[in-house]
């Protein structure tokens, strides 16, 4: 065993103990920094995933609503074709994924139901075709989310009209 050199003094006197304390503090700060970066990355990735899922849910729900409105229009057309006035009501949700939506019927002159909602990255639109008798006109209308009322008005054969209105 070597003998300590009396000229060098103790470890504390030489400053060696301070170096070990800095190493522990530096290690702690680095650990906190790396943990913060990892958690930030995880939160960012999760937020994007949740937004994608939300948009997918909105698109699916809009498709279901569009099909329900199109089916109600087709039912009114079918029942009204036998003569008389028809009024059908369809209960629809006021919001999907905490978002309101619009229903546009025959907006471009073609027999379609277009259901749209605004989402974070823009607008989601779903188009559903509507099949009606050739001599029946689907009136171009736009209504907000919620229940709808579909009316068939007979004009004596040619020119019968089907209209979608905001419901009760």
For the beta carbon of residue 111, count every other beta carbon within 10 angstroms.
20
| Domain segments of the chain as ranges | 43-166
Q: Give the pLDDT of residue 7.
A: 65
Average of per-residue pLDDT values in the chain: 82
139/153 Cα distance (integer angstroms): 11
pLDDT of residue 4: 61
Q: What's the pLDDT tens digit per position in 94-132?
A: 988 888 888 889 877 777 788 888 777 678 889 898 888
Q: What's the whole-model pTM score?
A: 0.70
Work out the angle at residue 69's Cα, subtended by the Cα atoms of residues 66 and 71, and round it to the nearest 5 degrees: 105
pLDDT mean by block of 10 residues, the chain; 168 residues: 61 54 80 93 82 84 91 89 86 88 82 79 85 85 90 79 85
In whole angstroms, what is the distance from residue 131 CA to residue 64 CA? 17
């Amino acid at each position: 065993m070597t003998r300590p050199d009396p000229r060098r003094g103790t470890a504390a006197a030489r400053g060696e103990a301070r170096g070990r304390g800095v190493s522990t503090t530096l290690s702690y700060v680095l650990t906190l920094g790396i943990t913060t970066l990892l958690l930030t990355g995880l939160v960012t990735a999760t937020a994007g995933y949740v937004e994608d899922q939300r948009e997918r849910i909105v698109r699916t729900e809009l498709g279901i609503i569009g099909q329900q409105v199109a089916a109600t229009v087709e039912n009114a057309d079918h029942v009204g074709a036998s003569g008389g006035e028809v009024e059908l009501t369809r209960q629809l949700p006021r919001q999907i994924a905490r978002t309101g939506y619009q229903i546009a019927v025959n907006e471009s002159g073609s027999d379609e139901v277009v259901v749209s909602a605004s989402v974070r990255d823009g607008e989601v639109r779903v188009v559903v075709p509507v099949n009606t008798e050739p001599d029946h006109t689907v009136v171009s209308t736009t209504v907000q989310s919620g229940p709808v009322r579909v009316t068939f008005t007979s004009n004596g054969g040619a020119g019968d009209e089907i209209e979608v209105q905001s419901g009760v």
